[in-house]
Amino acid sequence: MRPIAVAIPESRVVKIWQYCLVGRTDLFTEEEGLVEVVYPGRLNDDRGGDLRDAVIAVGRRLRRGDVEVHVRSSSWWGHGHHLDPRYNSVILHVVYRHDTDKAVVLQDGRTVPTLTLERYITGAAGRRAGVYSSNRRPLPCHATAGRRGRGFIGAVLDSAGDLRFAARVAEFRAALTQYGDGQALYEGIMGALGYVKNKAPMLELAGRLPLSRLTAAAPAGIPDEACLARYQGLLLGTAGLLPPGVKHGRRI
């Protein structure tokens, strides 16, 4: 019997992949047969596959890489992923509906299998209610608040926050001992400005261009604009971000 056509957003397809398929032994891709979800991956907030570091088992072989999710399989081509090298780490294409016979081809010429979820979602009522599979297993902690109370959850979060704060204090103490207060604070600020994706490069920049060298470039008494220009030139030059022919803010 042909599945009933339903409208489903891509965000819900992602949720099905994340929470409803781990441990199932009845999943088959369109091309390579049986596949098992070992780890669905972590959400990616950058270009490339929707989920990073996923682990799947195809036959007896484990594959690690990215997973790209679409409502329809034809969107792989419609979105131009076959031309984008940032999708070359994709190991599985997960879709709600398989609407094309074209193979999923990466920019480097390799192909990856497609897993169609529509056939594993049982019952129109279940779809409307968001219950995607009779084998759906809740997360281990999903009912903890009801069993233990909100006070317990709050205490756990407070304890985790205290541990994180203590760890950060220990890191700064070690930096103070090794580098001194100015450089320790400078590196802390640089790391924070890098956020998640650029924290490591910003810390490396702080090490290559220490605070002592940065402050020495702008002696007391020079105008603020000139001071800022020198700082910018040194930072951009050390990071290798200046245009060709310009070194530390000066054209050569």
Res 46: pLDDT? 84
Q: How would residue 141 be classed by pLDDT, with cut points 50, 70 and 90?
A: low
Q: Which residue has the tokens 């979800």?
A: 37
Res 128: pLDDT? 40
Q: Which pLDDT tens digit goes with each residue over 10-69? A: 999 999 999 888 878 889 998 878 999 999 999 998 889 999 999 999 877 889 999 999
Residue 213: pLDDT above 80?
yes
Q: What is the mean pLDDT of residues 165-191?
A: 91
Res 125: pLDDT? 33
Paired tokens of 250: 């000066």
Dihedral over Cα of 64, 69, 73, 74: its sign: negative
Paired tokens of 17: 């992949």
Contact by Cβ (8 Å): 94, 75: no
Question: At 231, is the secondary structure helix, strand, or coil?
Answer: helix
Residue 134: pLDDT above 50?
no
**Considering the chain, what percentage of its residues have pLDDT values greater than 70?**
83
Q: Which residue has the tokens 């060298």?
A: 213
Residue 222: pLDDT above 90?
no
Q: How would residue 210 be classed by pLDDT, with cut points 50, 70 and 90?
A: very high
d(CA 164, CA 184): 18
Paired tokens of 120: 């594993």
Q: How would residue 243 be classed by pLDDT, with cut points 50, 70 and 90?
A: confident
Provide the residue type at 133 as one letter: S
d(CA 136, CA 19): 7
State the pTM of this model: 0.54
Residue 231: pLDDT above 80?
yes
Res 107: pLDDT? 95
DSSP single-letter state for residue 39: E
Q: Which residue has the tokens 């103490």?
A: 173
Q: DSSP 3-state helix, strand, coil percentages of the chain (rounded to 5)?
A: 45, 20, 35
Q: What is the mean pLDDT of residues 85-107?
A: 94
Res 23: pLDDT? 79
Q: How would residue 196 be classed by pLDDT, with cut points 50, 70 and 90?
A: confident
Q: What is the mean pLDDT of residues 115-134?
A: 58
Q: How would residue 247 be classed by pLDDT, with cut points 50, 70 and 90?
A: low
